[in-house]
């Protein structure tokens, strides 16, 4: 079986691919202004969470394709993904520290929130992206 590139720093995504028997090479993206590889992960004004997560995922795929070209690596499918947690349409970012993590857990506790994930596969000039939303009820 041919290998794919995984353009993700997520240990969980690596583990998931291993569990289902997908062989992959890591393609880590670094923000490098000299090489014009950058992904804007800041939400745009009035950008909905599902549009945001798809945009970031597609931008990661484009950046990964550019990284392949700049590094003169062999062509192969590139897998990228992005996930956000939202409460009432507000994106909850990653915690800055333990206190922030505790605050986020309190917000989630006893309510329903959404986890929105976009996954993209890019090869040559084509990128296919899918977005999935999961509603989660978080016990007290």
- Point out the residues that are catalytic: 82
DSSP state of 75: P
Token pair in block for residue 140: 């007290």
DSSP state of 138: P
Segments in the chain forming alpha helices (H): 11-19, 49-70, 98-108
Token pair in block for residue 25: 């090479």
Residue 131 CA to residue 44 CA, distance in Å, equals 18
Residue 33 CA to residue 95 CA, distance in Å, equals 26
């Amino acid at each position: 079986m041919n290998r794919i590139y995984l353009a993700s720093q997520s240990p969980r995504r690596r583990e998931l691919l291993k569990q289902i028997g997908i062989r992959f090479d890591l393609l880590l993206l670094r923000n490098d202004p000299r090489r014009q590889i950058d992904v804007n992960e800041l939400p745009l004004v009035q950008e909905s969470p599902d549009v945001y997560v798809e945009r970031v995922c597609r931008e990661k795929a484009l950046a990964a394709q550019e990284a392949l070209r700049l590094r003169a690596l062999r062509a192969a499918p590139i897998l990228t993904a992005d996930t956000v947690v939202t409460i009432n349409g507000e994106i909850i970012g990653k915690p800055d520290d333990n206190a922030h993590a505790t605050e986020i857990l309190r917000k989630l506790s006893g309510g329903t929130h959404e986890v929105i994930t976009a996954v993209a596969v890019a090869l040559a000039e084509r990128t296919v992206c899918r977005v999935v939303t999961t509603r989660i009820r978080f016990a007290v």
